[in-house]
């Protein structure tokens, strides 16, 4: 009988994923569910044929250089691969896959939640009720910004951006987007394309980020780009924390240039940026964009599909 490939699961993925993985692989599961350190990754590369990491496991060039030759594939439990040095892994002959498609709607839902919460002062209102401080009402009380019919600017019109645009159209929002390439007309659904970020920003009463984090997009939102937004704009980020210059965003919040923000990701994770807690106008979540039962199962199964194909001698569907 041929021995099963050994699979390291550095994080506790969904129960359904673990159950399926154990049917096809000898699974080494990190029951502590703590992020795998560089030393953990290097050590496990000598014991495992495959790994299913999350974005918490970082495959830097230094780590990749020290990986054991036993490791053949990294099947990421994520869409983003900014935690992987892809050229270094390719040079070592290690296959890398991700899990596109399956988390688009869940992440778009969180972006909608953040946009609505930021626009309608959810943080401030929730605290007033919870603390028993709500003792007044008037027509001028807790007035926020209306979403319906407003202009939404979307940066990055990939799968998540398109899913968010679909939901925004349900609020009769006027959709504008900036993307590296223009979408085919049948996927635009009436959205207005902008060839440059500078063209998009002045149109964005609301701005939602859905692009990957790369050296080119780091601090894409900074003092200069924030200044191009309409006064009182609302910023939403469910993509990656590196896209936003956090001190610049806080300065824009203090000045009123940006009325509010909804953030699911931060430059430092876990933990976020405690300075944002000084702002009632910032609605924050702990990077849970894809955290639904259905999506977690789908992500795990997509990663396992890639592993199954690889060990059957086929090209994985999501090979990078």
- pLDDT per residue as tens digits for the range 248-269: 999 999 999 999 999 999 999 9
Catalytic residue among 121, 287, 296, 302: 287
Mean pLDDT of the chain: 97
pLDDT band for position 2 (cuts 50, 70, 90): low
Residue 245: pLDDT above 60?
A: yes
Among residues 240, 246, 296, 302, the one annotated as catalytic is: 240
Buried-exposed string 183-219: b where 16+ CB fall within 10 A, e elsewhere? beeeebeebebbeebeebbebbbbbbbbbbbeeebee
By DSSP bridging, strand 258-263 and strand 282-284 are parallel
What pLDDT score was predicted for residue 1? 52
Q: How confident is the model at residue 195 (pLDDT cuts 50, 70, 90)?
A: very high
pLDDT at 120: 98
Radius of gyration of the chain (CA): 21
Element at 185 (helix H, strand E): helix 185-188
**What is residue 221's predicted lDDT score, i.e. its pLDDT?**
98
CATH architecture of residue range(s) 6-102+293-311: 3-Layer(aba) Sandwich (3.40)
b (16+ CB within 10 A) / e for 238-249 = bbbbbbbbbebb
pTM for the model: 0.91
Residues 159-165, mean pLDDT to the nearest whole number: 97
Mean pLDDT of the region 223-246: 98
Bond before 159 cis per omega within 30 degrees: no
Residue 240 designated active-site: yes
Is there a catalytic annotation at residue 121?
A: no
Residue 47 annotated as catalytic: no
Phi, psi of 80, rounded to the nearest 5 degrees? -65, 145
Listed in order, the ranges of the chain carrying CATH 3.40.50.720 are: 6-102+293-311, 104-284
- CATH architecture under which domain 104-284 falls: 3-Layer(aba) Sandwich (3.40)
């Amino acid at each position: 009988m041929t021995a099963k490939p050994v699979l390291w699961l550095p994080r506790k993925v969904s129960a359904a994923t673990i159950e399926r993985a154990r049917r096809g692989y000898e699974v080494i599961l990190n029951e502590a569910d703590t992020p795998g350190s560089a030393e953990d990754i290097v050590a496990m590369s000598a014991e495992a044929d495959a790994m299913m990491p999350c974005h918490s496991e970082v495959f830097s060039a230094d780590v990749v250089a020290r990986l054991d030759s036993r490791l053949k594939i990294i099947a990421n439990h994520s869409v983003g691969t900014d935690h992987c040095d892809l050229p270094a892994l390719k040079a070592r002959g290690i296959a890398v896959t991700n899990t596109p498609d399956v988390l688009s709607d869940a992440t778009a839902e969180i972006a909608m939640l953040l946009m609505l919460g930021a626009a309608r002062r959810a943080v401030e209102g929730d605290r007033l009720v919870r603390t028993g401080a709500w003792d007044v009402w008037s027509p001028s009380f807790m007035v926020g910004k209306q979403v319906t019919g407003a202009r939404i600017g979307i940066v990055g019109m990939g799968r998540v951006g398109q899913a968010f645009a679909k939901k925004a159209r349900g609020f009769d929002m006027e959709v504008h987007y900036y993307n590296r390439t223009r979408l085919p007309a049948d996927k635009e659904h009436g959205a207005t394309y902008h060839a440059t970020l500078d063209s998009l920003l002045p149109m964005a009463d609301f701005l939602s980020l859905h692009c990957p984090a790369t050296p080119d997009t780091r601090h894409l939102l900074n003092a200069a780009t924030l200044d191009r937004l309409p006064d009182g704009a609302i910023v939403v980020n469910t993509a990656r924390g590196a896209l936003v210059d956090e001190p610049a965003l806080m300065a824009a919040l203090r000045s009123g240039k940006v009325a509010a923000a909804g953030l699911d990701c931060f430059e430092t994770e876990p933990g976020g940026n405690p300075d944002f807690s000084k702002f009632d106008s910032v609605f924050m979540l702990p990077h849970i964009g894809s955290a639904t039962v259905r999506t977690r199962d789908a992500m795990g199964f997509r990663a396992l599909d890639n592993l199954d194909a690889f060990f059957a001698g086929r090209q994985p569907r999501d090979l990078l």
